[in-house]
Amino acid sequence: MTPELFRTVGFVEALSLLLLLFVAMPLKYIGGYPQAVSVVGMVHGVLFLAYASLGMLLLDELGWGYRRLALACCIASIPFGPFLFDRVLFPKRQAALE
């Protein structure tokens, strides 16, 4: 397992949350298409569990404590949260990209 995989799963999980909130929910309540939330919600749930599981597997490699992992999981439930968390956790990579 690599931190890069954790970051990638976090990015995809964040996109799935945005898709759930800004596409599937309006389709359900405005468009009358409740299946959108069922499908996107399940995908988002699986991705969130993968994100949390990878975080647990990488605790030692990333040098994290359980508090930081709990913070990562809490922030993952906020729209755009994982994008901001990524910038805080991996500032060296951000500097290399700029």
Would you kindly state where each structural domain of the chain is located, as residue ranges?
A: 3-97
| pLDDT band at 97; cut points 50, 70, 90 | very low
Q: How high is the pLDDT of residue 20?
A: 95
Reported pTM? 0.81
- Name the more confident of 91 and 12: 12
Per-residue pLDDT tens digits for 27-84: 999 999 999 999 999 999 999 999 989 988 888 887 888 888 888 888 888 888 888 8
- Which residues are CB-contacts of 55 (< 8 A; sequence separation ≥ 6)? 6, 64, 69, 72, 73
pLDDT score recorded for residue 96: 47
For residue 75 the two structure tokens come to: 């922030």
